[in-house]
Chain A
Amino acid sequence: AQSVTQLGSHVSVSEGALVLLRCNYSSSVPPYLFWYVQYPNQGLQLLLKYTTGATLVKGINGFEAEFKKSETSFHLTKPSAHMSDAAEYFCAVSAGNQFYFGTGTSLTVIP
């Protein structure tokens, strides 16, 4: 069975500070992993994805995530937060046609 756990439903960072959003997964098969972002009153937008190959993946808006199989983690990072990064972030795992979303982390950026 597949599942996703996002630690911290709310994260606050200062503008310019490191952003770290945590995601741990469980999967009985090699997973495909995703991060989505949802801005207010919008749908979910794909930030980045890991399928196979390089474990450090880069996405849009300066975000990146590293797949660590030994830790079953796929944490999302950005070196320097911008005010426009304030949004809800969802981690997701896919195996076969099944797709599982985490409960989301709301990111607040403090000026």
Chain B
Amino acid sequence: DAGVIQSPRHEVTEMGQEVTLRCKPISGHNSLFWYRQTMMRGLELLIYFNNNVPIDDSGMPEDRFSAKMPNASFSTLKIQPSEPRDSAVYFCASSRDGPYEQYFGPGTRLTVT
């Protein structure tokens, strides 16, 4: 299996620009998670989907952030407009339904200048 795939691996953008991060979960996994990791705040759960439906988005920092999962094999996390404080590593993870281990992608390192 290819594992969780994220793109791009690195993104540098200017403040105010729209940023879209992409994730392809492991085939057969029906739960998908978006995390943000920074030195200051550690690992934070932003949102998670089950069977393509957002279940808990309480971690989404503000309306500038949105996430979609149009089908079982693709999800996006969008930031519009981006701000320097959004600079972080964003991870996508997937798991089977239930209390099973999550498999993480390699992350997208976002830098907003």
User: Which A residues contact B (CB, under 8 angstroms)?
Assistant: 31-32, 34, 36, 42-46, 49, 51, 90, 94-99, 101, 103-104
Complex CA distance for A45 and B102, rounded to whole angstroms: 9
Distance from A99 Cβ to chain B, minimum over Cβ atoms (Å): 6
- What's the dominant secondary structure at chain A's contact region? strand
5 new A-B contacts, CB < 8 A, other than A46-B103, A99-B33, are A44-B102, A46-B101, A49-B101, A97-B55, A97-B99
User: Which B residues contact A (CB, under 8 angstroms)?
Assistant: 4, 31, 33, 42-43, 45, 48, 50, 55-56, 91, 93, 95, 97-107
Distance from B42 Cβ to chain A, minimum over Cβ atoms (Å): 5
Whether A32 contacts B42 in the complex (CB less than 8 A), given A43-B105, A97-B50, comes out as no
Distance from B71 Cβ to chain A, minimum over Cβ atoms (Å): 19
A104 contacts B43, C-beta separation under 8 Å: yes
Whether A104 contacts B42 in the complex (CB less than 8 A), given A49-B101, A94-B99, A97-B55, comes out as yes
Distance from A40 Cβ to chain B, minimum over Cβ atoms (Å): 11
Complex CA distance for A31 and B98, rounded to whole angstroms: 12
Complex CA distance for A31 and B55, rounded to whole angstroms: 20
A99 contacts B42, C-beta separation under 8 Å: no
Q: Which B residues are in CB contact (< 8 Å) with A32?
A: 99-100
B98 contacts A97, C-beta separation under 8 Å: yes
Whether A90 contacts B99 in the complex (CB less than 8 A), given A43-B104, A43-B106, A97-B48, comes out as no
The 10 closest A-B pairs by CB, nearest first: A43-B104, A94-B99, A32-B99, A44-B104, A43-B106, A46-B101, A103-B42, A43-B107, A101-B43, A49-B101
Complex CA distance for A18 and B107, rounded to whole angstroms: 31
Q: Which B residues are in CB contact (< 8 Å) with A44?
A: 43, 91, 93, 102, 104
Q: Which B residues are in CB contact (< 8 Å) with A95?
A: 99
Q: Which A residues are in CB contact (< 8 Å) with B33?
A: 99
Which chain B residue shows the least CB distance to A32?
B99
Distance from A60 Cβ to chain B, minimum over Cβ atoms (Å): 13
Whether A99 contacts B102 in the complex (CB less than 8 A), given A43-B91, A44-B91, comes out as yes
B45 contacts A99, C-beta separation under 8 Å: yes
